Amino acid sequence: MNSTNETDETNETDGTKAAGAPDETGGPDPSSEPVVAVVGGGRFGWGLADTAARNGRRVVLWSRRPQRPATDQIRVTQELGDLAEAELIFIAVPSPYVGALASQLGEHLDGQHLLVHVSRGMVGAELRPLTAVLRQVTPCRRIGALGGPLVAKALSEGEPGGGVVGTLFPEVREAVREALGGSSLRIYSTDDVAGVEVAMTLVGLLSVATGYARGMGVGPATLAVMATRGMAEAARLGVLLGGKAETFSGLAGFGDLLAAFAGDGRPEVAFGEALALGESPEVAAKRVGANIEGFAVARSFADLIERVGVQAPMTHLLADVLEGKMGGQAMMAALMARSVGAE
């Protein structure tokens, strides 16, 4: 049995416990629970804030330039110090900004705060996971990463779905379930933090690839091979970086990629499509209105693959394609020309 609770049916009672409307179950009044904090006023940050508010929780959302007005339950602030009153803090800013922002935020926090990031990125050439960054720049230790097929729009609208939180700490798992879990969102958990973070990142990259392939007009069979082989590569890279292979067949891996295929409207796919149609990465990013993390990590992964000699040809070639050094057709030809063996 792996340590991922996703497949463990008995554990799902935890998920449903957090699910019931609080007043009916006679549980604690959620409005008396500690405030939930969100760092980042992008669509995803607001999606998390909306979900917690729908669960009856008070929310404080930090944004440098607030785009949306506060609501009864969601207070908007530009002071990071205001987040200290929360217990659970979601970090929903693009990975390149996490370090500096968390470092400032960390000055207001202590060992009781629980930090959970939702970023699809890893940092630097050495591909540092963001949980490691958070541990380094803040005094917080009870940290986690929330992944899976979560998209901003569905979160804000309360569409049924699920995610997985990777953490070593039971209280982080419980706090995320209490804040977000409910009748419309199932929050599973695993202690394979590294696996979740690599899966989140590489699914981001594969989502871009999916969009790119769609933009090229490839058929369903090609897409299926791409997705399956791509995920096998992701799992290999995940294991290399300290994760467990089975995490990649769960919500953080395949689950997340399936949502991209099913057309969940995520910006990575739109970005990939735009690239295939000849737009520059800058223009494409502007158009989809999001920071595309998958694009930024492609080169670091390609370097890692070369350095270690792990089998991940698709991920390796994707870096060239996304940087415009290689065409989609050439990549396809290169992949198809490889010798084929046991799956």
Partner 1 sequence: MLAGPMSLLSRFLQSPPLRVPTLLAPKVRPGDPRIFSFNGERPHIIHDLVTRVVEQQGRDPERLLYHLNDAANAEVRRLASQRDAEAEVSLDFWRRLLHGLGKMDDDERREALKTIVSRMGEDIAGNFDVRVFGATRRMVPGVLTAIMNPSSLPRELVRSGWPRVDSLVTAEGPIQRLRELAKIGTLVLVPTHASNLDSIALGYLLDREGLPPVVYGAGKNLFSNPIISFFMHNLGAYRVDRRVRARLYKDVLKAYSCLMIERGYHSLFFPGGTRSRSGMVETHLKLGLAGTAVEAFARNVMVGDSRPVFIVPATLNYALCLEAETLIDDWLKGAGQARYIIEDDEFSSIDRMIAFMKKATNLRSAMVIRFGEPLDPFGNPVDGDGRSLTPSGASIDPATYVSRRGVASLDPARDAGYTRELGELLPKIFSRETVVMWTQLVAHVLYRHLVVESPGVDLFGRQRRRGEVGLARTRLVQEVGEARDRLLELESAGEVRVGPVLRNTRPDELVDQALEAWRGYHTKPVAREIGSEIVIEDPNLLLYYQNRLVGFAEALATPDTLAAAREIAALEA
Q: Which spans of this chain sit near partner 1 (rule: CB under 8 A)?
A: 34, 87, 103, 106-107, 110-112, 135-139, 141-142, 167-171
Quickly list H helices, 61-216: 95-106, 130-137, 152-157, 170-180, 193-216
Task: Report in angstroms how near the CB of residue 26 gets to partner 1 at its nearest.
Answer: 20
Neighbours of 243 (CB within 10 A): 26
Q: Closer CB to partner 1, residue 52 or residue 227?
A: 52
Q: Closer CB to partner 1, residue 128 or residue 214?
A: 128
Task: Report in angstroms how near the CB of residue 169 gets to partner 1 at its nearest.
Answer: 5
Measured between alpha carbons, how far is residue 292 from residues 160, 206, 256, 287, 323 in Å? 25, 12, 16, 11, 13
Measured between alpha carbons, how far is residue 229 from residues 85, 219, 241, 244, 271 in Å? 45, 16, 18, 17, 21
Task: Report in angstroms how near the CB of residue 29 gets to partner 1 at its nearest.
Answer: 15
- Cα–Cα distance measured from residue 116 to residue 131, given in angstroms and rounded to the nearest whole number: 8
* Residues paired with residue 137 on neighbouring β-strands, in sequence order: none
Q: Closer CB to partner 1, residue 97 or residue 169?
A: 169
Task: Report in angstroms how near the CB of residue 111 gets to partner 1 at its nearest.
Answer: 3
Neighbours of 24 (CB within 10 A): 7
Q: Closer CB to partner 1, residue 173 or residue 186?
A: 173
Task: Report in angstroms how near the CB of residue 200 gets to partner 1 at its nearest.
Answer: 20
> Residue 229 corresponds to which tokens in the numbers above?
């082989």
From the list 129, 165, 214, the residue with the least C-alpha distance to 206 is 214
> Do residues 134 and 98 lie in contact, with contact meaning Cβ atoms separated by under 8 Å?
yes
Task: Report in angstroms how near the CB of residue 77 gets to partner 1 at its nearest.
Answer: 21
Q: Closer CB to partner 1, residue 136 or residue 228?
A: 136
- Cα–Cα distance measured from residue 200 to residue 194, given in angstroms and rounded to the nearest whole number: 10
Q: Closer CB to partner 1, residue 216 or residue 305?
A: 305
Neighbours of 166 (CB within 10 A): 31
Neighbours of 74 (CB within 10 A): 20
Measured between alpha carbons, how far is residue 274 from residues 52, 144, 244 in Å? 33, 33, 33
Q: Closer CB to partner 1, residue 79 or residue 107?
A: 107
Task: Report in angstroms how near the CB of residue 160 gets to partner 1 at its nearest.
Answer: 29
Q: Closer CB to partner 1, residue 25 or residue 112?
A: 112
Task: Report in angstroms how near the CB of residue 218 gets to partner 1 at its nearest.
Answer: 37
